[in-house]
Amino acid sequence: MPTRFNVTTAIAILALASAATAAWATVTQIDQVGQKFSKTSLSVKTGDHVQYINQDDVQHNIKVIDADDDEDDKGLQKPGETIDVLFAKTGRFTVRCAIHPRMKMSVEVQ
């Protein structure tokens, strides 16, 4: 019985902690307008999300590139679509559009 109580308690504590973390994670919105990002640099914390909102009438293709040049291709993004990017680890990232070479920004994750 004590063992069962401890397991249940641990699960509950983990769930609460997880919910609290999610609640504290911030979401930043970046507009894609005129084939540009609305910001050229951004600083976020681990676990934060950035939402990229395509307000152009052409498609984009977001790639998140880390310091080792490893790419996370988020795929084609049609006009009006929003791409959500979770920054789960610290570091400096470059976010750019594979279709529009000058459309890029840096994200510092602390």
Which residues here bind other proteins, judged by CB under 8 A? 33-36, 55-59, 61, 73, 75-76, 79, 98-102
Give the whole-angstrom CA distance, residue 54 versus residue 14. 36
Strands 82-87, 60-65: parallel, antiparallel or unpaired by DSSP? Answer: unpaired
Residue found by looking up tokens 């976010």 in the block: 95
DSSP label at 14? H
CB nearer to other proteins: pick between 21 and 75: 75
> Minimal distance in Å, beta carbon 25 to other proteins?
29
- By beta-carbon proximity to other proteins, the closer residue of 45 and 92 is 92
- Shortest Cβ 90–other proteins spacing (Å): 22
Q: What is the three-class DSSP state of 6? A: helix
Cβ closer to other proteins: 25 or 99?
99
